[in-house]
């Protein structure tokens, strides 16, 4: 059972993610917010025998859901999103909650509630790969802003994500890594692994390459929000970063 995973750059700095279960050819798109590049990626994979089965939505913001209805209309794929957010998501074909399982061919994802950036934000964890599609909850070297949820909710979500296996691919919703690295270096000035990672990120961006997915094991030693030892420290870091330039 292999899941291939590709980031699709959309809008100014978002990623949709195209997944394909190798055995069945079943594909899923996570957070399709821009019809043209997403459909081009889907059609390229369809040319080699793939079929879009699922549209997975992490949260209700327009930069994650804007093209979901259009992609469904063009492909017949089913939209999966948070039951708690049904009133502000496109019509859901499968409304999910914590602990629910989503099937993509022979691959399975567990739904994890990860509130904080928004209330009702969810993430999809494919344990076999392992890969986490976490929208605007955890970013490489950063985390989402607290737009609806509390610091406590985001901290709880990050603690749960942090308990996943070291080799989990963190497939997040934005290319924010380079800016996050500047803040992380200010927060963790003596972290050598971070300094090395920041140099690599600069190189990747100079070449126009995505810096994601990141590995959770690396994030645990360089992401200041995962390293925060307490809720108080997390809260202090989050408000420091909100004003950081
Ligand atoms: Zn968002
Ligand atoms: Fe976003």
What local confidence, expressed as pLDDT, does residue 209 receive?
97
What pLDDT was estimated at residue 29? 98
Whole-number Å distance between alpha carbons of 190 and 103: 43
Q: Enter the DSSP assignment of 41.
A: H
Mean pLDDT of 108-125: 98
Residues with CB under 5 A from ligand 2 (ion): 63, 136, 173
CATH architecture of 3-242: 4-Layer Sandwich (3.60)
Q: Where are the domains of the chain?
A: 3-242
Distance from Cα 161 to the centre of ligand 1, integer Å: 18
Percent of the chain with pLDDT over 70: 100
Nearest ligand, CA 14: 2
Closest of 68, 22, 73 to residue 49, by C-alpha:
22
The rounded Å distance from CA 137 to ligand 1 centre is 8
Is the confidence at residue 108, as pLDDT, over 80? yes
Quick one: which ligand is closest to 61's CA? 1
Q: Which ligand is nearest to the CA of 31?
A: 2
- Nearest ligand for residue 173 CA: 2
Give residue 48's pLDDT: 85
Dist. CA 61 → ligand 1 center (Å) = 5
Q: pTM of the predicted model, to two decimals?
A: 0.98
Going by pLDDT thresholds of 50, 70 and 90, the confidence category of residue 206 is: very high
Distance in Å, CA 63 to ligand 1 centroid: 7
- Are 33 and 65 contacting, i.e. CB atoms less than 8 angstroms apart? yes
> Residue 14 C-alpha to ligand 2 middle, in angstroms?
7
Please say whether the beta carbons of 124 and 102 come within 8 A: yes
Give the pLDDT confidence score for residue 22 in this predicted structure: 93
Model pLDDT, residue 185: 98
Give the dihedral sign, CA 178/179/184/187: positive
What is 70-129 written as a DSSP string?
Answer: HHHHHH-PEEEEEGGGGGGSSPPSEEE-TT-EEEETTEEEEEEE--SSSTT-EEEEETTT
- For residue 24, how far is its CA from the centre of ligand 1 (angstroms)? 31
Inform me whether the pLDDT recorded for 183 exceeds 80: yes
**Ligand 2 mean position to 64 CA, how many Å?**
6
Mean pLDDT of 121-125: 98
């Amino acid at each position: 059972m292999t899941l291939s995973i590709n980031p699709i750059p959309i809008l100014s700095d978002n990623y949709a993610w195209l997944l394909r279960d190798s055995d069945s050819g079943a594909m899923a798109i996570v957070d399709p917010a821009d019809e043209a590049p997403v459909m081009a990626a889907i059609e390229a994979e369809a040319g080699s025998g793939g079929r879009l089965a699922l549209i997975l939505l992490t949260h209700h913001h327009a930069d994650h859901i804007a093209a979901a209805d259009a992609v469904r209309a063009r492909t017949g794929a089913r939209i999966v999103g948070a039951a708690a957010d049904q009133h502000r998501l496109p019509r859901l074909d499968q409304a999910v909650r914590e602990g629910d399982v989503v099937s993509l061919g022979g691959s399975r994802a567990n739904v994890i509630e990860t509130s904080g950036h928004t209330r009702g934000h969810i993430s999809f964890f494919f344990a076999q790969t392992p890969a986490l599609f976490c929208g605007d909850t955890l970013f490489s070297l950063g985390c989402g802003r607290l737009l609806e949820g509390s610091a406590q909710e985001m901290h709880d979500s990050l603690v749960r994500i942090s308990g996943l296996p070291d080799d989990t691919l963190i497939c997040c919703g934005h290319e924010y890594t380079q800016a996050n690295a500047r803040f992380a270096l200010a927060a963790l000035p003596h972290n050598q692994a971070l300094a090395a990672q920041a140099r690599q990120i600069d190189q990747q961006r100079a070449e126009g390459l995505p810096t994601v997915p990141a590995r959770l094991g690396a994030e645990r030693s360089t992401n200041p929000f995962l390293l925060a030892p307490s809720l108080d420290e997390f809260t202090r870091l989050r408000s420091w970063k909100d004003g950081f330039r």
